[in-house]
Each structure stands twice: as C-alpha cells, then as structure tokens.
Chains A and B, each alone.
Chain A
Amino acid sequence: MRERLSVAGRVVLAAGGGYGLAGLATALLSLTLPLARPEAVAAATLASFVLMPAVAVAVFATRSLRRAALALAGSALVLGGLVGLAMRGAP
C-alpha cells in the first residue's frame, strides 16, 4: 500500500511538476534569452519538450519521493520568482 502511494505520488509529481517546471522555464527563457522576441519564444518552447520528460525521468530516478518533491518545489519557486522579476522588467 505504501509503495502504491509512493508510485501515485511520483506520477503526480512527474506529470504536474514536470509540466509546471517546463512551463515556468519556457516563460522565463521566452523573456530572457538574448534573441529577438519570436526567436526566444520558439527556442524556449522547443526546449520545454525536452525538459519535461527529463524532469519526469528524474522524479522516478530519485531515491526518495520527499527529496524529489523538495527539489521540484525549490526549482519551481526559483523559476517562478525569476519569471515574476522578468515580467516586471518586461515592457
């Protein structure tokens, strides 16, 4: 039972966390890459589809669920903060 819960937790974390992190990274890179605006958005969006499965694989590779959750939450906070800053800086 505990194992099943842990698997369920990882699935939720990989799907939600993976998509959330990829979305935040796309937003951040779209605003900050030193390229023309459409180029930055295109490059960031392309990268997101590599980032998301990578995050999902990492979630399943991490030894403990808590560690994976903490790492993901930390990265999301940092990325979210940076996106907030970039949005304020953007015209």
Chain B
Amino acid sequence: MRGSFRQSMAWLHTWSGLVVGWVLFAIFVTGTASYYRTDISRWMRPELSQAAPVATADLPKAAERAVAYLEQHAPKAKTWFIGLPQPDRPLLDLFWRNRPGEPPSHVLLDPATGTEAVLRDTEGGDFLYRFHYELHMPPLWGRWVVGTCAMIMLVALISGIVTHKRIFADFFTFRRDKAPRRSFLDAHNVTGVLALPFHLMITYTGVVALATFYMPWGVTAAYKGDTRAFFTEAGWITAPRLPIGRPAPPAPLGPMIEQAQASVSERLERLTVTHFGDAQATIVAMFEEPHGLAHTPTHIAFDGASGALLEIRGGDLKPAAKTVSTLIGLHVAHFADTGLRLLFFLCGIMGSAMVATGLVLWSLARLPRASERPFFGLRLVQALNIGSVAGLPAAIAVYFLANRLLPTELASRAEWEIRAFFAAWIIAALIPLARPHRRAWSEMLALVAMLCLAVAAADIAMVEAHPLRRLSGGEVLFLWFDGAMLTLAALFAVAARKVSARARIRPRHGRLSAVYTKTRAGPACVATAKSLS
C-alpha cells in the first residue's frame, strides 16, 4: 500500500481496529464477565443460599429423578442434557430440544424431590456467556460475526505490533498530559502491550474453541465432513451411536453412575442421554476436568438398554489433539483458582480498555479545528463510542438491577431481564446523541457509576439473607459481588470526573494535531513519536 511497510501496517491497524471495535468491546466485556459466570449465576439466584449442598453419593438418585422428569416432559427429544448438582449450584439443570431449530427447553429441578425448583426465573451469567460468542443472535449468525471480528482482531494485533517501533520503551511510557490524545495513546499502548500475550492468546484460542465450525475444510477433506467421526477418532468424545428404532426397556441409571463414579476421582458433572428407550440408547457421564491446563474431562459411555460400560475417554490424547484441548482450556481458564482467575479477569479488563481507548483515539485524532464542523463519520464514531463504552456497562448494570427488582412471579421473567438489558443499551446509546459530545461522555459515565451503586443498594434492600442484614452468617459471595459493584462505580465516577474536568480546558490544536490530521493514515504512535523526538 501507500508508503512504507510500517505505514501500511499502521493504516491497517487503525481501520481494522475501528470497523470491529464496538463489537469487539462487547465481546471482551461479556467474555471478561464470564470468568465469573457461575458466581454471577449464583448471585442472580439468591434463593439458592437456603439450598443444602448435594453429596456425590446422592448424585445417582438425583439423576434418576431427572430422567423420570424428562420421560414425562420431553419424550420426543433426541438428546437430554442433565447437569448434576454442583457445589455452586445445588440443582438439577435439564436441557433439551424437541426438534432441531426449535428453541430449547431449560428447567431446574430440586435434586431431593425431582420437582421444579422454586426460584426466580433468570438466565444468570449464562446470558453474558452466550452473548460473548453469539451476541444474542441466531447461533450460526452470531458465531460467524464473532469469529469474523476475532480474525480481524488478530490482523489488528499483528499490524499493531509491527507498527510499534518502540514497543519496549512504550511499555514503560505513560505521559499524563494535558493533551488528551497523548495520554489516550499511552493508555492504549500500555493496556495493549502489557497484556499482549493475553490478547494474542485469548483471540487465537477463542477462534480455536469453534475451530471446525469456522474452518471445516480439513474435516471435509479427510472425513467427508463427518465432524463427529473426527472428534471420536481424536479422542475427545465417545463414539456416537444411532438408534435402531426398536424400543427396549431402559436399564436403571443409578448403578451405571455408581460404577462410573467408582472409576473416576473427579466430581460427576453432566449426563448426556441419547435416544432414551431405544435398544441402542446411550448414556454418557462427563466428569469435571482433572487439574491442569488442558480441557480434557473424562467421558464414560454406557449402553442405555443393558447398562453395560461401552468406553472410557479422556486424558489419553495425541499431541495435536492435546494442543487443541490445551488451547481451549487456556481460553476458558477453568484451571484458574482465585488469584489466577483475578489475573485473567484484569487482563480481560485491559483488553476492553485497549479496545475502548483505541476507539476514542481514532475520534480524538480527527477532531475538527474550532471553526470547522465535525464531519459525519466522526459524529457517527463518537456516538457509537459512547453507546458501546458507556452503554454496555450501563446495560449490564440494568440487567443485574432487573434481576433484583422485577417481581419474582412475573411470567417469562428471564426474558424481561434480557429486554431490560437491551432497552437500557438502546436508551444509553440514544441519549448522548442529543447532548454535546464531551458532556455526554461525563454524564453517561456518571450514570454507569450510579447504576452500579444502585445494584449494590438493591441487593442489600431486596435479599433478606444478605450478610449485611444479619448479625452473623450469610453468603460471602454477596459481599464480594457488591464490593465489585462499588469498585466499578468508583472507577466510572473517577472517569466521569476526569472527562468533565477536561471539558473545561479547551482542546488544543497545535502542531501535533496538525501533523496527525494530515497523515490521517499515520498511526498515532509514529506521528507522535516523530513530532516529540
């Protein structure tokens, strides 16, 4: 392209970053929140504080109750997914789809009685988790959009690294300066470079997590497109079995589970029941991953009619398959305990900040002179910037608020929580359009701070078992969650203050901005580095 190699890379970095920036920001934020998916789900179901934990010895009985419920309510479904009670979610989690394409059904059961659990209807952290890779769109569309954005993110990372002549020196550079562009540039560099290994890892492993979906051509060539045959041969799953269409009385589930539990030391996590009632029915027991980087849970398959053990899978993978498992394991970070999880979370925040500062930088570098009117593209980018960078956190806070404030018996309550999320996002993106740009930033950031405060307040007000309302006991999770909300509120309040303080200083349009605006393609780093040196 025009100019030197580095200039064309700078151009590529600027524009590839801009076109996917807003979606990437949403992917980063919801993905970062997903490191605490189970904690969020637990917080959003405060009724669970009263539920007693389920011992592993009680899991076989609980599983039989789940199957009894499914026989009655989902006889047409080909496959039943049964999540067994876990320490952080002492409930049976049933999931099935009556026909392909139909929306799935999802029910929580009390493991002691096998009846539907009495608790508020919510998607919990699963909504943010699924939004992270499907954007609440039809799954195929959402995954392609997210995958495309991830590939462009890889391109932006590679070209960003190439652009960065002084990558090591900039690592230690932060110029807290009156010129906002320079401190935004440094913030972009610091958040980008400091967590660069994380950004590269998380983007690449994110694509790998859906590898054969995005790049099925290897499977097409070597397996004639049969992905399940590939997964089976690679050793990730047990061999799929087709129904033979002859009914056979199912073997009791309890003894199979006891046999499986006796041979694996990890906790039983899930059961997959296929073609229940057929002579070739299959029951697969999946266990928690063994400790380690790789995502290699043990699978044990049983014949549903005879109860005989068919095969045991897991752990014994060949190098390339093991690499795939390890990459996926790195992405989901199930191996991380409290400290490491927090580090991953902070890296995710830095990734979100890198995207956000990059977007703001684009608009700062194109600010018109005092006499000129901003051109349409700039206004659009500015509006989208506020709408995503402040709008999404506002929407998530409203999602949490809705969980506490909507009446518990409201019909399709879980959907209303999601509607509240999107309504808040749309409103938060529209309001700034009617306000002067800088004031809109500080107002929206202040609004997010207040919403975070409101979440903590609503939590204390609405949850009777909240530890702050008791003299002793209560679940510590609520304190952590509210503490995190208060921290976020403080951060957003500081940001709002900074922006409104800045708004009072008239932006300068000195030599620096002239250099940069002229070489619009030039990367901020090269332009500023040159003009400063």
Interface residue ranges, A against B (CB under 8 Å): 10, 14, 22-24, 26-31, 35-46, 48-50, 52-54, 56-57, 60-63, 83, 86-87, 90
Interface of chain A: mostly helix, strand, loop or mixed: helix
B319 with A39: CB separation less than 8 A: yes
B215 with A38: CB separation less than 8 A: no
Contact of A56 with B215 at beta-carbon distance under 8 Å, contacts A38-B233, A42-B234 already known: no
A57 with B221: CB separation less than 8 A: no
Interchain nearest-CB distance for B108 vs A (Å): 36
B320 with A39: CB separation less than 8 A: yes
Contact of A60 with B154 at beta-carbon distance under 8 Å, contacts A22-B215, A45-B212 already known: no
In the bound assembly, the distance between CA atoms of A24 and B220 in angstroms comes to 11
A-B CB pair tally, cutoff 8 Å? 111
In the bound assembly, the distance between CA atoms of A37 and B155 in angstroms comes to 30
Q: Which residues of B contact A30 (CB under 8 A)?
A: 217-219, 221-222
Contact of A61 with B5 at beta-carbon distance under 8 Å, contacts A39-B321, A87-B221 already known: yes
A49 with B320: CB separation less than 8 A: no
Q: Kindly state the interface size class of chain B when it binds its partner.
A: 35 or more
In the bound assembly, the distance between CA atoms of A55 and B377 in angstroms comes to 29
Q: Which residues of A contact B318 (CB under 8 A)?
A: 36, 38-39
Q: Of A27, A28, A39, A49, which contacts B208 at CB under 8 A?
A: A49
Interface residue ranges, B against A (CB under 8 Å): 1, 5, 8-9, 11-12, 151, 154-155, 158-159, 162, 204, 207-208, 211-212, 214-215, 217-223, 230, 233-235, 318-321, 323-324, 327
Which residue on A lies nearest to B162, using beta carbons?
A: A57
Besides A39-B318, A45-B219, 12 new A-B residue pairs in contact (Cβ under 8 A), listed by A number: A26-B218, A27-B220, A27-B221, A38-B230, A38-B318, A41-B218, A49-B214, A53-B151, A61-B5, A61-B8, A83-B221, A86-B221
Q: Which residues of B contact A49 (CB under 8 A)?
A: 151, 154, 204, 207-208, 211, 214-215
Q: Which residues of A contact B151 (CB under 8 A)?
A: 49, 52-53, 56
B324 with A42: CB separation less than 8 A: yes
A57 with B155: CB separation less than 8 A: yes
In the bound assembly, the distance between CA atoms of A22 and B319 in angstroms comes to 22
B218 with A29: CB separation less than 8 A: yes
